[in-house]
Amino acid sequence: MDYEAIFTQEKLEALFPAERTNDFFEALFGDAEEGAYDIALGYAGNRGDKLNFELRLTQRPGKCLACNLTYGLPQVFARHPIINVQGIADAAAEAAGKGGASWKLGATQEMSNQLHVIPFMVELG
């Protein structure tokens, strides 16, 4: 199956809308402006029915991404209802025409001072 054709930028934004970042920081800090980064979903390829996504944390202007504790985020994101990792995995499976999905978040990777990435693996059922 051609997952590249399914997981276009438009589809990724539908799976994880940009406003979810502000909702997350609103819940966490009581003010979306307190957030140091924006969260976006990226597609990073597949091996069969194992899809590789990324939760991309991009530094906001005037904020310091490197100063934030992004290394503990996989555990936070795994449980946080606004991030809703299981919901993203289920929606990805549905988009791929498959039933159900299991998922796993990897450790935060520092790509640069302005970009940290959390690997997000989805195995289609």
DSSP alpha helix (H) spans, 7-119: 9-15, 19-29, 73-79, 85-95
d(CA 96, CA 106): 22
Q: How many CA atoms lie within 13 A of 58 on its CB side?
A: 10
| Contact of 46 with 68, CB cutoff 8 Å | no
Q: Is 49 left (phi over 0), alpha (psi -120 to 50) or beta?
A: alpha
> Can you give the pLDDT of all 125 residues of the chain as single tens digits?
899 999 999 999 999 999 999 999 999 999 999 899 999 999 999 999 999 999 999 999 999 887 777 888 999 999 999 999 999 999 999 999 998 899 999 999 999 999 999 999 999 98
The reported pTM is 0.93
